[in-house]
Amino acid sequence: MLVRIRPGAELAGAERELVDCLRAYPSTGLALVDCRVGDRRLGAVIVTPRGITVLEVKGFRRRQSGLLTATADGSWMISDSPLDLDAEPSNGLTDRVEHGVHAVRVALEQALQDSRHVSGAVVLVPYRGVVVRPARTSLRPGLDVLVANTVDAHEVRVYLEGFSAGPREWTIDRVLNTCAALGVAEVPTRAELAEDGFDGNRPAPKPVAPPVRKFSEPAPPPDPGRRGKLVGMALFAAALLGILVVFVVVGVTLVQDSPNPRPMSDTTQTTTTRAPAAVTPRKTECWPFQRDC
C-alpha cells in the first residue's frame, strides 16, 4: 500500500505505528496520513479501488487490557475502567470521526466528484503485548472501531480490504482527482498507482444479453385410466358395427333395383289377356199400365 505523509507533519507514536502497518500491507490502496481537509486534521484518509475511509488513530496513555465496550453516552470502557487515551478523552470520539467523514464528502462534492462510498473508523493502538477485545466493533452503519498494532494488525487489513462492497470505481484518474480535491501536497505518480494495483481505466460494463422469450409447450394429454380405455374401445366397436350395417343395407338395395326384372308367370298373362264374359240381361216383369215395359 502506498503511504503519503503530509510534509512537516508531527505524528504521535500510535500514528507512526499505524504507518508501519499500512506500508507492510500488500493490499491496493493509498494512505494519506495527517491529511488536512478544510480546518480539520484527519489521522489518515485511505483510498482503495472500492471507496474511501477516514481513520482517527488514538493510542493509550497506559497499559490497558480487557473487553472494549461503548456506552450510550459516548464514553468507552475497557472491562470496568474508562478508556484512557494518550491525547484526549474518549467522549465525543465518534462525533469527531463523523465530522471527518462529512468534511471529506463536502470536499469531493465541491470538486464535482461522487461522494458516495465514504466511511470512517477509529483505530485504537494499544501497547504491544496487551490484548484488547473485541478487536473490531461496529458503532453505527459506516462507522467501526478497530484495535491493532504492529504485532497484531490483521483486523485493520481485513477492514481496509472489505469496508466497501462497491465496484472498483476508483481508477488512477479518479485517485488523482481525489488527491487534488483534498489538497494533498505529495501526489503519487500514475506509474506508482498502476504498480500498486489501481486500474488505468474504468472497466467497461458487461454487455447484457437480451432476454430470451421462452414459449411454453402444450402440456401432454393426461394418461387415460382403465375406465376411459374401455369406453374408447366400446365406441370404436360401435362405429365399426354401424359402418358394417350401412354396407349391408346398400348391398340389398342394389340387388333389388336390378335392371333385368324377373318375367311374370303364364297364369298372370292369361288372366290379363282373357276377354271379359258377356253379361245376360235380366228379364223384367211387367205390370198392367207400366210404362216402358
Residue 172 in this model has a pLDDT that exceeds 90: yes
212 pLDDT higher than 70: no
Whole-Å CA distances, 274 to 188, 264, 270, 277, 279 = 148, 16, 6, 9, 15
Q: What pTM did the predictor assign?
A: 0.65
pLDDT at 169 over 70: yes
Name the percent of the chain lying above pLDDT 90: 30
Better-scored residue on pLDDT, 227 or 132:
132
Mean confidence (pLDDT) of the chain: 80
CA angle 15, 19, 21 (to 5 degrees): 115
Q: What is the pLDDT of residues 236-252, one digit of tens each?
A: 888 888 888 888 877 77
Is it the case that residue 143 has pLDDT exceeding 70?
yes
* Alpha helix stretches (DSSP H) within the chain: 13-24, 93-110, 154-162, 172-182, 190-196, 226-256, 266-273
Say if residues 150 and 80 touch (Cβ distance below 8 Å): no
